[in-house]
Chain A
Amino acid sequence: MAQTSLALGVEAVGCAAFDAGIKGAFGYPGTPSTEGFEYVEAMIHAEPTGRVAQWAANEKVAYDLALGMSYAGQRSLVTMKHVGLNVAMDAYANSALTGVRGGLVLLVADDPGMHSSQNEQDSRRLAKFAWLPVLEPSTVQECYDFTWRAFDLSESLQVPVMIRVVTRLAHCRGLMARRDVLTPTGLGVAPQDTIQDWVLIPSNARRRYLDLLAKLPLMAQQVAPLNRLIPGTSRRGVALAGMGRAYFEQLSLEYPELLSLPRLEIAAYPMEPSLEKDLLAQVDEIFVFEEAYPVLEERLTFLRGNVAIHGKLDGALPRTGELTPRLLKKALGLKTAEAKAASDLQLPLRAPRLCEGCGHTDAFEALREALKNVGAADARVFGDIGCYTLAAQEPMNAIHAVVEMGASISMAAGAALAGQSPSVAVIGDSTFGHSGMPALLTAAASGANVTVLILDNRVVGMTGQQPSMALDQVERMVLGLGIPEAQLQVLTPLPRQHEANVQALEAALRHPGPSVLVFRRECIQSLRRGVLRDHDRELKACTALAACQESHS
């Protein structure tokens, strides 16, 4: 009998990747994708059979690691959130041309409604942009089954395959029935006669692009079994994808009259237009329920003839935000349930904030005072992505721009070059390792008058204290990127260090060139959980040993 257990949607993807015999999993943490990697990581660590799970410094690096593993003939999984795919886009789009050897599956978790993201971009669009297949499950079990299928498709089509989930599915906990576990079996490195396929100089790339386009009909044909048209007697039809499919299916239990509607269920792309045409031929109007962008809706609108298409484009559904069962009910004109009356008491929002005793708070307090002391109390500060982003809110109001990973340093440098003074960037250690390094390299080379605060809490705090690639190396990284030793200071963000920290900040703010202050204190959550306990014990032993050896030499 199949082994069943409860799992989150993204965990089911991780589990299926393990069962499908991946040699390695790679990723960069980002809500709501993180648990997918962590699940497979735990499986790999529990069974040390030579498989690897490795967080990478950023999503592009993670993707390249997976592609390299594929080149060497092994199956690999790479995980990230939707905006992470922007970072990995160069690798992803070009891997469409190289193709893959061992199956390569990319898990991307989109965040419609922006529960913890800066936008709600739709990864189905990026798959189309790269001319690559994408599968969109709508239940935990489908997360598992589709991932298996994605590996098979990846190897038979010799292209990477994306699994797209959204927050609600990523963090939906449900039953997962597993298949038997495959042991990783390498196909061997890409054969000699295919080497040129992997060398994307223009002459090869032109040929490979034609090869890719020629594969599109085969892709559509091979993913087609995941899409279907269920006939009905009504002249109203629905087109469903992702959670739209899940919500409609459940509504049909409560409102059996919905079963008379012809239903187009789409779970895989690229798709041939024949199913859409068949649906259009049967109905007078179609309601489209899909998550994030109106991808299906635009296709249907393009093909519609006299059929009315209802969805995000005609206002039947909100253009932005998460799809919900309630929105489906309203669009379809179903009666909603009578609810208890909400209290008329004004309920203040309870916003997330920095933990009690967090070192970031001390760093921001020192920064505020130092800015005041140098006569720049109203200075604009460029922030970055992490827990410290929370300082943008009341009552701290300490950062005034947050765009994307690593932007703080380069935006501060750009503003400094425009004449802004002081120009301050605040970035975490993991974000610095992710994409702050090239920014600091550039800032140092430009000589821009920026003051960079690296808030080094030694982990990736926000997403659950995963290891930071920059652990114990931030100073060396900063110096190596061209910041002079005199302009680098390492400080401890603690209330009792406040005066010293303010003084150091003032000196840096007054210095007419790039300077870096590292505020180092471990995240109190990771400290509580003992995340780095073993690491630090080992480090201490090594340091003691080295000192001992030196004194005896």
Chain B
Amino acid sequence: MTSARIHGIVLCGVGGQGVLSLAQIVLEALRRSGFHALQSEIHGMSQRGGSVHAMVCFAEVPLSSPIIDEGCADLLIALEPLEALRYVAMLKMNGHLVVSEEPQSDMEGYPPLEQVYGALKAVRGCHLVDTEDLARRLSHKQAGGMALLGMASRFLPVADGIWREVITQRFEAKGQRVIEKNIEAFEAGQGLVQATVGV
């Protein structure tokens, strides 16, 4: 029997980090996995270095609302730790957060980093990822987003082959080397130690 359960993913970060592009990869991967999926995004002013978020919903039945309500998201993928904190209340009690540790702190009033990490670690189901270190190890400056997605992929019902297919298609225009670097980053994210932080 098909389940009417609706799954929600929130992706967030700062304008220019590639939040919307990541959301499109997730959407396409879910669609290819046989789900009905919808994505909501906000363009415009928010692209100029402001907060950006996108939502992806999927289910085994057709959906009509692209918006996820508070307390209804299963997963939060955050490219920036302060931005992650804005969306914690979007998550279900048993939802997961996959968060980059790398701050974009070039703004007024950014709180001390220890406080940001502290607040995140207090959230059950939070997985902090040292994307900066990972990017260095892979010699790939843009590896962060793909690595987060790799880590987040274990919470998503998408087969490895489909992820690879979608990532390949996404970067096709940029050549084989870029495709390989992104798949490498994705797989590195998948391989990260799977310890859950928090209480």
Which residues on A are within 8 Å of B, measured CB to CB? 6, 31-32, 34-35, 115-116, 138-140, 167-168, 171-175, 243, 245-247, 249-251, 253-254, 324-326, 329, 336-355, 387, 390, 394-395, 462-463
**Smallest CB separation, A303 vs chain B (Å):** 28
- Cβ contacts under 8 Å, A250 to chain B: 6, 63-65
Chain B 69-95 per-residue mask, 1 if CB under 8 angstroms from chain A, else 0: 111100000000011011011111101
Contacts A172-B38, A355-B49, A394-B108 known; A337 to B71 CB distance under 8 Å? Answer: yes
**Smallest CB separation, B156 vs chain A (Å):** 17
- Cβ contacts under 8 Å, B43 to chain A: 31-32, 34-35, 116, 171
Q: How far is the CA of A246 from the CA of B123 in the complex (A)?
A: 32
Q: How far is the CA of A345 from the CA of B42 in the complex (A)?
A: 25
Q: How far is the CA of A324 from the CA of B15 in the complex (A)?
A: 23
**Smallest CB separation, B89 vs chain A (Å):** 4
Contacts A115-B42, A167-B42 known; A387 to B69 CB distance under 8 Å? Answer: no
Q: How far is the CA of A249 from the CA of B62 in the complex (A)?
A: 10
Contact status B44-A340, CB under 8 Å: no
Contact status B93-A340, CB under 8 Å: yes
Contact status A339-B89, CB under 8 Å: yes
**Beta-carbon nearest neighbor of B115 in chain A:** A345
- Cβ contacts under 8 Å, B70 to chain A: 326, 336-337, 339
Contacts A172-B39, A339-B91, A340-B88 known; A352 to B15 CB distance under 8 Å? Answer: yes
- Name A324's contact: one of B39, B46, B69, B122 (CB within 8 Å): B69
Q: Which of B23-31, B133-141, B142-150 is the interface stretch?
A: B23-31
Contact status B123-A340, CB under 8 Å: yes
Contact status B65-A325, CB under 8 Å: yes
Q: How far is the CA of A387 from the CA of B42 in the complex (A)?
A: 17
Q: How far is the CA of A395 from the CA of B109 in the complex (A)?
A: 13
**Smallest CB separation, A355 vs chain B (Å):** 7
Contact status B41-A246, CB under 8 Å: no
**Beta-carbon nearest neighbor of B48 in chain A:** A352
Q: How far is the CA of A350 from the CA of B103 in the complex (A)?
A: 13
- Cβ contacts under 8 Å, A339 to chain B: 70-72, 89-93
Contact status A336-B24, CB under 8 Å: no
Contact status A350-B123, CB under 8 Å: no
Contact status B44-A31, CB under 8 Å: yes
- Cβ contacts under 8 Å, B158 to chain A: none
Q: How far is the CA of A22 from the CA of B59 in the complex (A)?
A: 35
Q: How far is the CA of A32 from the CA of B46 in the complex (A)?
A: 12
**Smallest CB separation, A182 vs chain B (Å):** 27
- Cβ contacts under 8 Å, B42 to chain A: 115, 167, 171
Which residues on B are within 8 Å of A, measured CB to CB? 4, 6, 14-15, 24, 27-28, 31, 36-51, 59, 61, 63-67, 69-72, 82-83, 85-86, 88-93, 95, 107-111, 115-116, 119-120, 122-124
- Name A253's contact: one of B6, B39, B82 (CB within 8 Å): B6
Contact status A336-B83, CB under 8 Å: no
Contacts A168-B40, A246-B64, A348-B109 known; A340 to B27 CB distance under 8 Å? Answer: no
Contact status A6-B95, CB under 8 Å: no
Q: How far is the CA of A243 from the CA of B65 in the complex (A)?
A: 8
Contact status A32-B44, CB under 8 Å: yes
Contact status B41-A173, CB under 8 Å: yes
Pairs A–B under 8 Å by Cβ, sample size 30: A6-B24, A31-B44, A116-B45, A168-B67, A171-B40, A172-B40, A173-B27, A174-B37, A246-B64, A247-B65, A250-B63, A253-B4, A253-B6, A336-B69, A338-B71, A339-B72, A339-B89, A340-B88, A340-B92, A342-B85, A347-B85, A347-B111, A349-B51, A350-B14, A350-B49, A350-B50, A351-B50, A352-B48, A355-B48, A395-B108
Q: Which applies to chain A's interface (DSSP): helix, strand, loop or mixed? A: loop
**Smallest CB separation, B25 vs chain A (Å):** 11
Q: How far is the CA of A31 from the CA of B44 in the complex (A)?
A: 6
Q: How far is the CA of A369 from the CA of B119 in the complex (A)?
A: 43
Q: How far is the CA of A265 from the CA of B28 in the complex (A)?
A: 30
**Smallest CB separation, A461 vs chain B (Å):** 9
Q: How far is the CA of A355 from the CA of B89 in the complex (A)?
A: 30
- Cβ contacts under 8 Å, A251 to chain B: 65
Q: How far is the CA of A250 from the CA of B4 in the complex (A)?
A: 10
What 7 A-B pairs are tightest by C-beta distance, nearest first? A339-B71, A116-B44, A337-B71, A352-B50, A31-B44, A352-B48, A348-B109
Q: How far is the CA of A313 from the CA of B50 in the complex (A)?
A: 33
**Smallest CB separation, A389 vs chain B (Å):** 9
**Smallest CB separation, B191 vs chain A (Å):** 27
**Smallest CB separation, B172 vs chain A (Å):** 16
Contact status A347-B61, CB under 8 Å: no
**Beta-carbon nearest neighbor of B83 in chain A:** A350
Contact status B64-A348, CB under 8 Å: no
**Smallest CB separation, B102 vs chain A (Å):** 15
Q: How far is the CA of A171 from the CA of B110 in the complex (A)?
A: 30
Contacts A115-B46, A345-B115, A345-B116 known; A253 to B61 CB distance under 8 Å? Answer: yes
- Name B4's contact: one of A243, A254, A351 (CB within 8 Å): A254
Q: How far is the CA of A10 from the CA of B81 in the complex (A)?
A: 32
**Beta-carbon nearest neighbor of B95 in chain A:** A340
12 additional A-B residue pairs with CB within 8 Å, beyond A31-B44, A342-B89: A116-B44, A173-B27, A173-B38, A243-B65, A254-B4, A337-B92, A338-B71, A348-B108, A352-B46, A352-B48, A354-B48, A355-B49
Q: How far is the CA of A66 from the CA of B89 in the complex (A)?
A: 47
Q: How far is the CA of A342 from the CA of B86 in the complex (A)?
A: 8
Q: How far is the CA of A31 from the CA of B48 in the complex (A)?
A: 14
- Cβ contacts under 8 Å, B40 to chain A: 168, 171-173
Contact status B44-A390, CB under 8 Å: no
**Smallest CB separation, A497 vs chain B (Å):** 24
**Beta-carbon nearest neighbor of A35 in chain B:** B43
- Cβ contacts under 8 Å, A395 to chain B: 108
